[in-house]
Amino acid sequence: MLTKHFIQVGDKAPDFSAIAVYEQEFKKIKLSDYLGKYLILLFYPLDFTFVCPTEITAFSDMCDQINSLNTDILGISVDSEYCHLAWMQLDRESGGVGDLKYPLVSDLSKVISESYNVLNSEGKAFRGLFIIDREGIIQHSLVNNLDFGRSVNETIRTLRAIQYVQNNPDEVCPANWQPGHTTIKKSPSKSKKYFESI
């Protein structure tokens, strides 16, 4: 009997095609359209809720910095594109998200959320975050339960670390690494230099 394959870091990101809302318009997008760039997939439970707008707007506010790292963002929930549009047309003070700097994808069929293993028993998406590299490979995944949000700053730090080690394959990034900080050489003898310095 075949068992279901659960995706994990190092796997090819499951492709999908869906309708998204961007700049107040409906747009068909495919994951494969983003090959050659890094991509943050930002799953969230539902529009018009409590934690969700804080995350969606926080990522939008940092979108220019993220875009400068050759990276795009896609927000995804099980709402319809019409619900996404209504949410964007409502200002932040009223519980909406206003104009966003990245698209919100409609996963009304729940196929995308299921393929990324973030669909809960109630049919909502957990707060799943995936960083996909230029080759379409998942390099980072994080899944929070519904009631607490994610850190944009930590996402950017992780993205920078991924990009650094991909550009410097003989080095690895230690805990709490930040750009400009010392890395570790992937060698038993050369790594000692890092450990002697801490």
User: Active-site residues: which are they?
Assistant: 52
Q: Helix, strand or coil for residue 182?
A: coil
CA distances in angstroms from 14 to 7, 11, 183, 186, listed in the order given: 8, 9, 32, 31
Neighbours of 95 (CB within 10 A): 14
CA distances in angstroms from 55 to 34, 41, 90, 152, listed in the order given: 22, 13, 16, 8
Phi and psi torsions of 30, nearest 5°: -130, 145
Residue 27 and residue 21 in contact, taking contact as beta carbons nearer than 8 Å: yes
Neighbours of 50 (CB within 10 A): 12
Rg (CA), the chain: 18
| Bridge partner residues of 129 (DSSP) | 42, 142
User: How far apart are the C-alpha atoms of 132 and 141, rounded to whole Å?
Assistant: 9
